[in-house]
Amino acid sequence: MTEHDTIAAIATPPGNGGIAVIRISGTRAADVLRQVFAHTGGFTHAKMVFGSVHCGGEELDRGYAVFFCAPHSYTGEDVAELHCHGGQTGVARVLRTVLDSGARLAQPGEFTRRAFLAGKMDLSQAEAVCGFIAAASEESAKVSLRQMDGELKQAVLRLQDDLTDLLAQVEAAVEYPEEDIEPVVTKAALLVLENLRDSLLKMEESFRYGRLIVDGLCVTIAGKPNVGKSSLMNALLSEDRVIVSAIPGTTRDTVAHSFAYKGMRFNLTDTAGIRDTDNAIEMEGVKRSKSAINGGKCVFFILDCETGITPEDYFAFKQIKKDKDDVLVVQNKLDVSEGLSEREIFDAFGRVSCIGISAKTGAGLDALREKLLEYATRGRATDESVVLCNERHLECIKNARGHISDAIEALLSGMDMDCVMIDLNAAWHALGELTGKTVSEEIINRIFEKFCLGK
């Protein structure tokens, strides 16, 4: 098995469907296509043609084929695609015929790996392809698409260009000490390095928002028993996903579901009511509630505004607040009560954010969703700014910033320019790991193993 083999795989999800696509890439793609697909005429670059797939004189399916000439294809190689009817049996027969005609089964991510090796994309763009496929929200898809277009790549290349220019100046100071340009170079280098450090720090800080749009904002719904936690979850999901009962303690375990709002994903966890109890099962439920509170980014503390604030509310809030700072007090059942004043809530729980809703009628739910959106996008940079979503990218940026900080310290302490050059080269190398220019084969293998088959 080598990178010079012609490879093939089903590029569409398995199972019944209208269309299944089998992708073929490599030097023998055209030959394989001609062996398995019959139609009147030849193949023209990027032109879809109708015909039949056959094996030894037997027709297997009818559909379309398209051929892309190297280097004008996804992988940079000759690429052919067969568009057949969906379904498992027919598609499996077509794939087997393709493999018997000179192709081998592709490994997960091998098509995109070949695109990377052919220079069609850098490593950050390849990873963005995987991110786009896995995107669970509109915002996540948008960021991945921007990175597929090279947004992160271009930002990193600009930083590397600045480092390259700076390295040339520092090297000149080392090579020609008689010119006495070191003081001038030091002053100019400090300015450039401080700007680079600030740019890298800004990229690091974008990671919080980047991971949030990929993973979704985790919100825990908590409070004493029977205040409408499950009703609120059902209302936000717009469907009955959680059992609702007037009997306190109905929810004994955590229940998690997600919903989307204005392009963002929100992961809700309904929890067992928090109260002091001797019931072993309920105690376990309370324990799991506290674990969910610790794992969430923010907490909805639900109050029943019909009954007002009770000792059980004080107990539940105290348990929550010692584990979490981001707590939003949500007054439920505004359909049967005017609710508590902000002053009453502040007197009971301190200066917390609060909002009133009715899970039954839907009153206030849009405002609550906007509160969630406000929290999720807190600290977000402008839409034009680069957003890091990938932990590997974050590590590369952190390493680069660390080496640049070392270079600044070396310049300020009057160390030899040779030492500064070592730090600058290390920073350039760290950025090169992000784009794939200086990355190891082991990391490349690890990245493409995460891809789905056929991509």
By the 8 A CB rule, do 128 and 144 touch?
yes
Judge whether 220 and 451 are in contact, CB under 8 Å. no
319-344: average pLDDT: 85
Q: Domain check: are 90 and 233 in the same one?
A: no
Q: Which residue has the tokens 């969630």?
A: 372
Q: Hey, what amino acid is at 367?
A: A
Mean pLDDT over residues 434-450, rounded?
89
Tens of pLDDT, residues 74-115? 999 999 999 999 988 999 999 999 999 999 999 999 999 999
> Does residue 274 belong to any structural domain of this protein?
yes
Domain that holds residue 391: 126-206+386-448
Count of domains for the chain: 3
Q: Can you give the CATH number for the domain in which 171 is found?
A: 1.20.120.430
CB atoms inside a 10 Å sphere around CB 161: 11
Query: Same domain for 50 and 135?
Result: no
The CATH number of the domain where 367 resides is what? 3.40.50.300
- Lookup result for tokens 């070396």: 410
Per-residue pLDDT band at 239 (split at 50, 70, 90)? confident
Residue of 355, 335, 362 whose CA lies nearest to 238: 362
What does the pLDDT look like over 9-28, one tens digit per residue?
999 988 888 899 999 999 99
Helix (H, G, I), strand (E, B) or coil at 298: strand
Please name the helix (run of DSSP H) or strand (run of DSSP E) that holds residue 392, with its range, or none: helix 391-412
Mean pLDDT of 310-336: 85
Q: Is 111 a member of any domain? A: no
57 domain residue, yes or no: yes
Q: Residue 285 — pLDDT band, cuts 50, 70, 90?
A: low
What band does 450 get if pLDDT is binned at 50, 70 and 90? confident
* In the chain, % of residues over pLDDT 90: 57
Do 131 and 102 share a domain, yes or no? Answer: no
Residue 220 contacts residue 236 (beta carbons within 8 Å): no
Residue 114 included in any domain: no
pLDDT digits (tens, 9 = 90+) for 349-397: 888 889 999 999 999 999 999 999 998 888 666 556 799 999 999 999 9
Alpha carbon dihedral 174, 176, 181, 187, in 10-degree steps, equals -20
pLDDT at 320 over 50: yes
Q: Specify the pLDDT at position 59.
A: 94
Do 371 and 222 have their domain in common? yes
Residue 204 pLDDT level (bands cut at 50, 70, 90): very high
Name beta bridge partners: 355. Answer: 330
**Which class for 139: exposed (0-12), middle (13-18), buried (19 or more C-beta within 10 A)?**
buried
pLDDT for 397-417, tens place per residue? 999 999 999 999 999 888 888
Chain mean pLDDT for the chain: 87
∠ CA 169-172-178, nearest 5°, is 130
- What pLDDT, on the 0 to 100 scale, is given for residue 243? 45
